[in-house]
Amino acid sequence: MGKVRERLDKEDCGLPVALEVMGERWSFMILRAAFNGLRHFEDFLSATGIARNILANRLAKLTAHGILERAQMQDDRRKVEYVLTAKGIDLLPAMLCLRQWGERYGLGVPSNPVLVDNRDYLPIAPIGIHAADGRPIVYAELLWLDQNEVGKVGAECCGPGDLSAASVR
């Protein structure tokens, strides 16, 4: 597929790796549909409004990357099911983050349907960042550290918004 397009640099960061699949247009919309229980080609098609060839391409790519699993139904061999794998399910936080952000800054109201706790039927909390001990933490309390500096107290590096030269890669 992307022969000429230079591959995103994957040497030292997981983000380009994730974007190689999920950075494609429609990937997240298909993922959302899958999370909402859709499984069949025509369902994805009508739910997203994506073009047929693009949908076929994306489903193949998501399957190739192990995010969806393709299975032919044996009771009706015309039908194919695309189901989320564990790897795909682990993208739920990322999808929800984006969705919550869109709600907050674009939509202004909660999306529908709502993801709730099946114990009390209350919506999940906004997704946020937590320290290693589980305590919620905000951007101002965070720091970028080089890998081999981690845990060394007194390591001098940059706070958020201030970085010296650096190897951002």
Site for a copy of itself in 80-119 (CB under 8 A): 83-84, 87, 89-107, 110-119
Q: What is the 3-state secondary structure (H, E, C) of 69-90?
A: EEEECCCCCCCEEEEECHHHHC
Q: Assign residue 97 a region: left if phi > 0, alpha if psi is -120 to 50, beta otherwise? A: alpha
Q: Point out which residues bind DNA (CB under 7 A).
A: 1-6, 24-26, 40-43, 49-54, 56-57, 59-60, 70, 75-81
Between 72 and 101, name the residue whose CB sits nearer to a copy of itself: 101
Task: Report the SS3 class of residue 58.
Answer: helix
Count, residues near a copy of itself per rule CB under 8 A: 101
Q: Are 148 and 157 in contact (CB under 8 A)?
A: no
Q: Which does 4 bind (CB under 5 to 8 A by kind): a copy of itself, DNA, none?
A: DNA
Between 115 and 163, name the residue whose CB sits nearer to DNA: 163
DSSP 8-class letter at 139: G
Residues 16, 23: Cα–Cα separation, whole Å: 9
The amino acid at 118:
N
Residues 169, 167: Cα–Cα separation, whole Å: 5
Binding mask 42-61 for a copy of itself (x = CB under 8 A): -----x-x------------
Q: Which does 101 bind (CB under 5 to 8 A by kind): a copy of itself, DNA, none?
A: a copy of itself
Q: Which does 81 bind (CB under 5 to 8 A by kind): DNA, a copy of itself, none?
A: DNA
Q: Which does 64 bind (CB under 5 to 8 A by kind): a copy of itself, DNA, none?
A: none
